[in-house]
Chain A
Amino acid sequence: METANAVAEPVVRLRNASLRFGDRLLWEGLDLDIQPGEFLAVLGPNGSGKTTMLKTLLGLQQLSGGSVEVAGKPATRGSRLVGSIPQQRPFAENTPLRARDLVALGIDGHKWGIRLKHKAMRQRVDGLLELVGATAYADRPVGVLSGGEQQRLRAAQALADNPRLLLCDEPLLSLDLHHQQAISGLIHRQACDRGAAVVFVTHEINPILQYVDRVLYLAGGRFHVGTPAEVMRSEVLSELYGSPIEVFESNGRIVVVGMPETVNHAHPQEGA
């Protein structure tokens, strides 16, 4: 154990981690510690293995080499220490669930049988709905909620067990600017401020720039880790992509120019 120094034990510890599908290399030699309360943004083009990175942390995807630990133990499927928020995806209009039922499923949906303790669950769900500001539509069908309202419920589900690690897979996609700010602020406040680490996969860093401590940039089988100021630079991105890229800063926003559609021409789709 290397916990002798003053730094708290990292929530995530990746050592010499590599991942490949057949002859296609996503990344290799990745050493990364993520500390409690840290907000890590994972960026990169389609097919660079961003989502697959989250799957390894969830224990749904084995590494090809190296090791991954969450809270000191190898990542395992179904761990209660990990919460996750997916991309917004509309529910069928007549889905027989209300907002509160969706949150409740996030809490005990993995258990067998039917729910017996309704009263205790109701209190817990009410508390979570309040935490994420969703009380007003607690009893509305999920099928009629807007994308932003829905993502608040996702946050409530993910935060239910006070996770040590919160994984977000493009949770702001297809939300308007107002909701992007509200949801990212909510994630930062409710996770980082409580000492959980956040791993936030995104293709657009600006909505979360003010919260990001470090960036993991994946591209073309390589990666770069550092603060936004260290990574979001013309030289770094040009080297990662292997083609000239220019990064400008304007009004606190980062503008990247000359980004190729994808670096991995053989496999334009995001990895499984």
Chain B
Amino acid sequence: MDLNDIWSTVFSFQDYAEILPLVTNSLIAGALLGLVGGMIGIFVMLRDMAFAVHGIAELSFAGAAFALLIGANVVFGSLVGSILAALVLGMMGAAAKDRNSIIGVLMPFGLGLGILFLALYEGRSANKFGLLTGQIVAVDTVQLGLLAVCSVVVLIALVAMWRPLTFISVDPAVATARGIPAAKLSVAFMVVLGLAVALSIQVVGSLLVLSLLITPAAAAMRITANPAATVSLSVLFAMTSVVGGILLALAGSLPISPYVTTISFLIYVICRLIAWRRDRVRHIETAALAA
């Protein structure tokens, strides 16, 4: 395979107009997941839970693989796996230190279980690979319904606990003194996070969930400290990554996840560059003022 072949595998816009209507469902699902990922990503960053997201994703993968094996609904399977993992983490690992060791223990166990289930599965191998690296192009109307309902649940829950969750995440001492129930909010957030992870897995697969739940929020937080702007940008970045990734993937014959992760990574790099430039200008100005 020479470079030209690789290029035409990655990008080929023949038949684009005919394919596009076939993926309307996937685009809607992608936009919803962008909204969910962009919003919850802010809290994942605030609460320093990137590793937890990864751990939940592996158990979600195990759940999905089990569902595939027994012929059940894969989205449902990954939801069950994720929420179980989130509950265990929420109950056992209140302190970040405990949490990380518990995740470190759970994650390989989940991944191992998932591989076991996949090894036992005798169906199409594309299905197997899809769980790890994403499969949204195959979203049918039933799955879209389930995804949409879960997304709406996550969004409502996030909006409902927005202020106290922000407060307890950035400023635990004052928030606790104010009487905010830290432990209950923490468990509630873990469950919501579990849902969001299970949803994201449907797009980018369990190995690449962080590109949807961390990268957009991290990028937004690089360039602004205004809370409203941070959320808006994070959602915009996540949606651009998913929807853009799906549209580009149609042009090639590859899974969508590399497109999604690349767009999301590029956005992050650009945001870092903007922040770096801005800080440098600020630094020079301060130095000039001091001189």
Contact = CB atoms under 8 A, between A and B. Distances in A.
Interface of A: 58-60, 77-79, 82, 84, 86-87, 89, 91, 94-98, 101-102, 105-106, 108-115, 140-143, 154, 157, 167, 169
Given A86-B174, A110-B179, A96 B224 contact: yes
Given A58-B177, A96-B226, A109 B166 contact: yes
Contact of B167 (A109, A141, A143, A167): A109
A55 to B, nearest CB: 9
A142 B46 CA distance: 13
Query: Nearest 7 CB-CB pairs, A to B?
Result: A78-B179, A141-B225, A109-B167, A86-B173, A96-B230, A84-B177, A77-B179
A109 B177 contact: no
A73 to B, nearest CB: 14
Nearest to B234: A96
Interface in B205-228: 218, 220-222, 224-227
A140 B226 CA distance: 9
A140 B45 CA distance: 20
A97 B170 contact: yes
Contacts of A111: 163-164
Q: Interface size class for chain B? A: 20 to 34
Interface of B: 42, 45-46, 159-164, 166-167, 170-171, 173-180, 218, 220-222, 224-227, 230
14 contacts: A58-B177, A86-B173, A87-B173, A94-B222, A94-B225, A96-B226, A96-B227, A98-B226, A105-B166, A105-B171, A110-B167, A110-B175, A111-B163, A113-B160
Given A91-B170, A97-B225, A101-B227, A86 B160 contact: no
Contacts of B161: 112
Contact of B42 (A96, A142, A157): A96
B164 A110 contact: yes
B37 to A, nearest CB: 16
B179 A109 contact: no
Nearest to A158: B174
A154 B174 contact: yes
A61 to B, nearest CB: 11
